[in-house]
Amino acid sequence: MTDTPAPTATRRTAVVLTVAALVLAVDQATKYWAESALAGRPPVQVVGDFLQFRLLYNPGAAFSIGTGSTWVFTVLAAIAAVVLLRLATQPQTPSRAIALALLLGGAVTHLLDRLFRAPGFARGHVVDFIDYNGFFVGNVADIALFAGAVLFVVLTFRSDREAERASQGEKAEDEKTAEN
């Protein structure tokens, strides 16, 4: 016997890494565009005031929380990337693997921002440019993180319900068998 993974495991890992790399590439490309096209400009309306492009550099987390603790977010992003990569290489349904890939891609691209963007190593600011009516300014990685998290939660609740139904079905079968 060899220690080579089954083709399905290899394929799943390849899909996860491909989706994560795609998120990373699109996010970094759009950030490059935002920095070159939006620097020094007023907000660009896309859908009225509801959706605009506006360049910001975020040293904190969502909603600029923890702006003085950028290094903490660097460490958390690194831990998240390692944990998500580990989870994504474990047996998963295809849908759950995609959710993990979206989360992994978002975590890695934010980690790279923290590591390599100004003002310096492990203190870098995340480039945000998609303004949602002044409520939140984010980027493509944030969209991937949100979509991955929602998908993961939905799949978790769905699998919990399916497990509960299966358990109830087994219980009913056991009761039927006990009556006979």
Active site residues: 128, 142
What CA–CA distance (Å, rounded) separates 173 from 97? 33
Phi, psi of 54 (to 5 degrees): -145, 120
What φ, ψ does residue 118 adopt, rounded to 5°? Answer: -65, 145
Query: What whole-number distance in Å separates Cα of residue 114 and Cα of residue 52?
Result: 24
> Rounded to 5 degrees, what angle do the CA atoms 13, 14, 17 make?
85
**Distance separating alpha carbons of residues 69 and 65, to the nearest angstrom:** 9
Beta partners for residue 44, in sequence order: 53
